């Protein structure tokens, strides 16, 4: 007797071995309903037949059960099932797609957009390699809209929206505020309060992102990789990350009526060496506030983790990317360092000291490698330092060195990382360390300009256009 489970969603050929987390309950004659165990289930496409064996339910007694699964948007889906002696049980939960178009499925899953559409009947799985282009499937019929297309928005970013891809060249990197070790320059740039065009020039201008891969009505979807925008002809790369591997970082500059923001683009996002696209969904209908865009990764497991984090379910995210998963992401023959960093952050943000103490040697070895192998990744060094000031590791000097190294590597990829970097510097500054105090003061304008609502670090670089006053931030009236 075994129990297998799967969550099926609109994913096309994407899948996640660890897709959603949940709990199983059993009907009990005496106690009513009793908790049985927590489970992690795979998430596959609607057309897939796959369901994975759930070891947590091996030996479960016959009876009626309830599966509760936590969706990335914070909702719960439930499914009744029955376990009968000597019979295998398969439990399949369908994750509804409620986005405005099929190509918004990942963002819709995390609640970034919520245009309701009827639940479609299962669609046949497209052939391997097919892209989710064009009509068909469960896409909503779009009403005629007055929202301009992206081409119009980018033609006048002061009143619209434009994105530029920043990939500082090695020969000019030394003079760039985006160079490793140039955080003081970046802080000075923010403090200078330059208009958008001057700030853009100081960052090197970059390449315009001109073509979304999908666009309809209120939304436009961009797919970004380390080489640029797939819509503009860039291609996915292959990255054999291992110890000592090098990388030139890339960024995004988002310009709008609100000014200009620098986004630390988590590229290349890799899984076993293959590059996975970063999905940027632009809500074109947002015109009078900060630009309405959301970033996620075209990997359902990471998408779920980011959704859990955004919805306050930090510990569910930590269950999804536990130590085994994090270890595999780093120690696989070809590492996935950015995905691995999320696993590290979830340990630290969840402050699960018991989880850390239970296998502190393993974690420390893991974090040490993340910190040492990738010179371009400040987040690994931040995590190494965090073991000391968050999780009670005793290596104070190692933590200090790691933190200074992190500062020298540049902006963290993740907002959590900047917060931890500040916390660590404050810790050492409180001990009277002048270097830490100086760096803390240096980072202050960057922290103030940071958008705390985003997972991937986003910093306001300019708040005004030439000849215009900075947009006033007025808090809406309350009841």
Partner 1 sequence: MSGALVWKDQARIDSGKPAAHAIVIGVGEYPYLVGGNGPLTDKNGGLQQLSSPPESAFRFARWLLDEFNNPGIPLASLSLLVSGSQARAFEHPRLLEPVTPAAADSARAVAALRAWKALGDSSEENLVLFYFCGHGVARGLEGLSLLLRDYGEEPDMPMEGAIDFAAFQRGMAQCAASYQCFFVDACRQVSDIARNTSESGRKVIQDDINRPFESDWNYAVLFATVEGKSAYGRRDKPSFYAEELIRGLNGTAANNRNADGEWRVSTGDLNASIHRGLSLRGKKIKNPAVRLVEFEFHVLRRAPMVPVTVFCEPRSDTALAELSCASNGTVVDRRDPAPDDWRTELPFGIYDFQARIDSRTGRRVGEMVLPPYRELKIQVSP
Q: Which residues bind partner 1 (CB under 8 A)?
A: 23, 25, 27, 31-35, 64, 66, 68, 70, 73-76, 78, 80, 111, 306, 309-316, 348-353, 389, 392, 415-416, 418-419, 422-423, 426-427, 430-431, 447-450, 452-455, 472-479
CA gap 98, 277 in Å, rounded: 22
CA gap 298, 104 in Å, rounded: 11
For 38-194, where are the alpha helices, taking DSSP H only?
A: 105-109, 150-155, 170-173, 183-192
CA gap 268, 262 in Å, rounded: 17
| Tokens 């959704």, residue located | 307
CA gap 472, 376 in Å, rounded: 36
Which residue, 401 or 444, has its beta carbon nearer to partner 1?
444
Burial class (CB in 10 A: 0-12, 13-18, 19+), 254: buried
Closest distance between partner 1 and the C-beta of residue 97, in Å? 17
Which residue, 41 or 313, has its beta carbon nearer to partner 1?
313
Which residue, 48 or 455, has its beta carbon nearer to partner 1?
455
Which residue, 196 or 450, has its beta carbon nearer to partner 1?
450
Which residue, 209 or 348, has its beta carbon nearer to partner 1?
348
Which residue, 35 or 397, has its beta carbon nearer to partner 1?
35
Which CA distances in Å does 283 have to 242, 315, 426?
37, 29, 37
Closest distance between partner 1 and the C-beta of residue 175, in Å? 27
Closest distance between partner 1 and the C-beta of residue 438, in Å? 17
Which residue, 42 or 307, has its beta carbon nearer to partner 1?
307
Closest distance between partner 1 and the C-beta of residue 78, in Å? 7
Closest distance between partner 1 and the C-beta of residue 112, in Å? 9
Contact (CB, 8 A) for 71 and 106: no
| Tokens 């409180």, residue located | 430
Closest distance between partner 1 and the C-beta of residue 99, in Å? 16
CA gap 331, 242 in Å, rounded: 9
Which residue, 165 or 293, has its beta carbon nearer to partner 1?
293
Closest distance between partner 1 and the C-beta of residue 23, in Å? 8
The structure tokens listed for 105 are: 């499925």
Q: Which of 280, 252, 259, 253 is nearest to 159 (CA)?
A: 259
CA gap 387, 398 in Å, rounded: 10
Contact (CB, 8 A) for 329 and 343: yes
The structure tokens listed for 403 are: 């933190």
Closest distance between partner 1 and the C-beta of residue 28, in Å? 9
């Amino acid at each position: 007797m075994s129990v297998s489970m799967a969550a099926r969603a609109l994913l096309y050929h994407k899948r996640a071995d660890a897709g959603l987390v949940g709990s199983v309950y059993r009907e009990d004659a005496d106690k009513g309903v009793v908790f049985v165990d927590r489970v992690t289930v795979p998430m596959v496409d609607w057309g897939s037949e796959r369901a994975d064996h759930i070891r947590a339910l091996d030996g479960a007694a016959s009876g009626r059960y309830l599966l509760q699964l936590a969706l990335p948007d914070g909702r719960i889906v439930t499914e009744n099932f029955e376990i009968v002696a000597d019979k295998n049980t398969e439990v399949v939960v369908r994750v509804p797609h409620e986005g405005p178009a099929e190509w918004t499925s990942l963002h819709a899953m995390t609640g970034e957009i919520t245009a309701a559409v009827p639940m479609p009947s299962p669609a046949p799985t497209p052939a391997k390699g097919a892209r989710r282009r064009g009509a068909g499937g469960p896409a909503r019929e779009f009403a005629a809209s007055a929202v301009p297309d992206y081409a119009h928005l980018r033609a006048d970013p002061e009143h619209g929206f434009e994105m530029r891809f920043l990939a500082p060249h090695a020969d000019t990197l030394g003079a760039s505020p985006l160079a490793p070790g140039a955080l003081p320059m970046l802080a000075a740039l923010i403090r200078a309060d330059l208009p958008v065009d001057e700030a853009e020039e100081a960052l090197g201008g970059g390449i315009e992102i001109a073509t979304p891969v999908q666009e309809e009505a209120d939304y436009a979807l961009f797919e970004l990789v380390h080489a640029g925008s797939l819509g503009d002809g860039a291609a996915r790369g292959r990255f054999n990350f291992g110890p000592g591997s090098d990388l030139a970082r890339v960024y995004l500059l988002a310009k709008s009526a609100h000014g200009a923001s620098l986004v630390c683009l988590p590229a290349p996002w890799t899984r076993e060496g293959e590059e996975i696209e970063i999905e940027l969904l632009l809500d074109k209908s947002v015109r009078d506030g900060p630009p309405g865009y959301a970033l996620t990764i075209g990997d359902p497991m990471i998408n779920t983790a980011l959704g859990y984090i955004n919805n306050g379910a930090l510990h569910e995210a930590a269950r999804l990317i536990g130590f085994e998963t994090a270890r595999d992401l780093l120690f696989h023959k070809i590492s996935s360092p950015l995905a691995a960093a999320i696993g590290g952050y979830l340990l630290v943000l969840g402050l699960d000291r018991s989880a850390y103490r239970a296998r502190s040697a393993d974690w420390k070895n893991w974090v040490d490698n993340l910190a040492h192998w990738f010179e371009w990744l400040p987040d690994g060094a931040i995590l190494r330092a965090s073991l000391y000031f968050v999780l009670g590791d005793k290596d104070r000097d190692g933590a200090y060195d790691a933190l200074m190294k992190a500062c020298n590597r540049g902006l963290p990829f993740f907002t959590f990382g900047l917060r931890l970097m500040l916390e660590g510097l404050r810790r050492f500054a409180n001990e009277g360390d002048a270097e830490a105090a100086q760096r803390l003061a240096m980072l202050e304008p960057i922290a103030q300009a940071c958008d705390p609502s985003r997972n991937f670090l986003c910093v306001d670089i300019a708040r005004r256009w030439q000849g215009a006053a900075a947009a006033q931030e007025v808090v809406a009236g309350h009841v």
